[in-house]
Structure 1
């Protein structure tokens, strides 16, 4: 089987490096282009990237020349681009690539709530990919742009999707988010060591809106947002990787905790290379999941849950996901696999 040629926009950053790690090797994708800022363009990737991932820099890309993040600089025989650009840059640059005919699977936050841009978790709402046809018709784009959600949103939404059979009405979530979610320079050691920061700018709003789009229904022309109300409180804690979240879900039905555990464990995965065999894993122990112990379940792509208990109006549970794997780079790769599977490449 021939491989699909892919490129990474913003390849030297934290998520870009995770993308490189996940794509070496990949059974369907071959990295053929790397882009970064003009300061890095012309250098080898080894020279341009201050490599911080916990595996060696792949030899297949180490001596590849980095190009500028511009459609004229990226080879036109690239089938798929993964974008890890800062959102302010992505807002301007990603449409330029799509107009030039590239298909872009993006982790950047810009455009996630646009009516014609798919915001997708393949195990939850793969049918939303149909928005690509709406996008092409309305914008006249030759390529396509697809987004994965915020790293905190993606941690709880698969579990909420499993609970939707009981009638989701209101969701309250409090997060304990790892420092890697802020990027390498996002939180200084003086801020976070021996501390918790009870606010992450813009994060609560992303969880409250993106969740409803992900859980919404696609009618062929657009997505009707889910009717549930979502309230979030987002906190930065001194863990390296893995977002842990405490969730309270008010439900129309009155399931027992055993019914909820069954709904979690039976929620289906998808037949894509990066999706785990068991999407949602449930711990019986009251002190699990924990970031250091459980973030790499399913090669970092599974959702860990636990602490399932009844409340007056529904269910309380905890959930955990690896924020730079399932919550960022892995989510973009999985969306790329979905694009390939559905014939968009």
Structure 2
């Protein structure tokens, strides 16, 4: 077996950081060699600092690893970041300026003019913006971001429909509590309840969707030219963001054409056979009551977006439901797939 690339995890003790540790345990290309977190975790064994919350055992290879300070010095070149946005805004550029390849889940830099916001099946060509970053930084370091956890599921459902000309999108989300981290939303607030507000979530969905489905023209991102509106709600579900979507299309495809577009959708990760890529990135479910988080959230090892309930819309053209795993496809898995794409394209050499 070829030697694996050593990688680090910034924010390793949080929910997304732990998901990185879990998903990288048996990764064929990457090996966790460095863990970093806040000052209160620094210097402690990872097994004590992390308060492990995953449903699989803590990997023995990292259990005794000492948590390092969140500084570029001594870190491997490739870094996965799972930091709060307020911290990421300061730390992530420091790592990139020091020559590190930073693949981040944070929202801090997603909308920067020279930072690629990437879902590998949707807009793999946007990584070419790294050439502009390299010129500006005068180093081999860079930052690549993955989107908001609710935007990812949405754009995976929308990307196959771009051939029909998207004109308007309205999305209403029902977002799992794991998206708020740990300890997250207080039980007395969420049990038997729906919270119709997630700070800055609607703005992120609207802005990021247009950047993801837009074009890279020279050294500039041009957003997609359609109208987008999002309503975001927190619900009492552990994992999985469900979205009810209405869409207006320029062309007028039949339902069978839309379903075929979803089921037949393939892109660079499938062609390159990237280790974390699902065989089928978007899967249409025929049952009238699917997708459901309890039944479908783990499709494609958590990397497939499940779509269902396609039917005519009396206001726009069509409406449907999409479900994606918010901490796998929507967070750690998204960043790992981005790193795999970067390696396959030679950016980690």
Shift of 1:141: 4.1
- TM score, norm. by length of structure 2: 0.96
- Looking at structure 2, the residues matched to 209 and 220 of structure 1 have their Cα atoms a distance apart, in angstroms, of 20
**What's the counterpart of residue 339 of structure 1?**
342
Tell whether 2:136 aligns with 1:174: no
RMSD of the alignment, in Å?
0.9
Which position in structure 1 is the counterpart of 2:39?
38
Q: Distance in 1 between matches of 2:48 and 2:10?
A: 17
State the distance in 1 between where 2:20 and 2:171 align: 28
In the TM superposition, what is the alpha-carbon distance from 1:307 to its structure 2 partner? 0.4
Aligned length: 342
- Is contact 1:130-1:220 (8 Å) kept? no
Query: Residues of 2 paired with 1:307 and 1:143: CA distance?
Result: 44
Identify the residue that residue 12 of structure 1 maps to in structure 2: 13
CA drift of 1:127 comes to 0.4
Cα displacement (A) at 1:39: 1.0
Deviations 1:160-188 (A, max 9, x none): 01111110001000000000001113310
Of residues 104, 107, 110, the one that matches 1:106 is 104
Match of 1:253 in 2: 251
Deviates more, 1:267-276 or 1:325-334: 267-276
CA distance, structure 2, for counterparts of residue 47 and residue 215 of structure 1 = 42
Question: Aligned residue for 1:58?
Answer: 59
Alpha-carbon deviations, 1:106-141, whole Å to 9, x = none? 000001011100000001111000111111223434
Within 5 Å, give how 1:88-167 maps onto structure 2: 88-167=86-165
* Consecutive unaligned residues in structure 1, runs of 5 or more: none
Question: 2:200 corresponds to which residue?
Answer: 202
Please state whether the residue corresponding to 1:124 is helix, strand or coil.
coil
Alpha-carbon shift at residue 2 of structure 1 (Å): 2.0
Instruction: For 2:313 and 2:346, locate their aligned partners in 1 and report how far apart those are by CA, in whole Å.
Output: 44
Aligned-partner SS, 2:244: strand
Give 3-state SS (helix, strand or coil) of 1:241's partner: coil
- Alignment-derived partner of residue 24 in structure 1: 25
Q: TM-score, normalised by structure 1?
A: 0.97
Identify the range of structure 1 (141-150 vs 168-177) with the bigger mean alpha-carbon deviation. 141-150
Deviation of the 1:19 alpha carbon: 0.3
Q: What secondary structure does 1:95 align onto?
A: helix
Displacement of 1:257? 1.1
Secondary structure in structure 1 of the residue aligned to 2:123: helix
Aligned to 1:284: 286
Q: In the alignment, which residue of structure 1 is the partner of 2:214? A: 216
SS in 1 for 2:318: strand
Between 138-147 and 119-128, report the one with greater CA deviation.
Answer: 138-147
Q: Bigger CA drift: 136-145 or 270-279?
A: 136-145
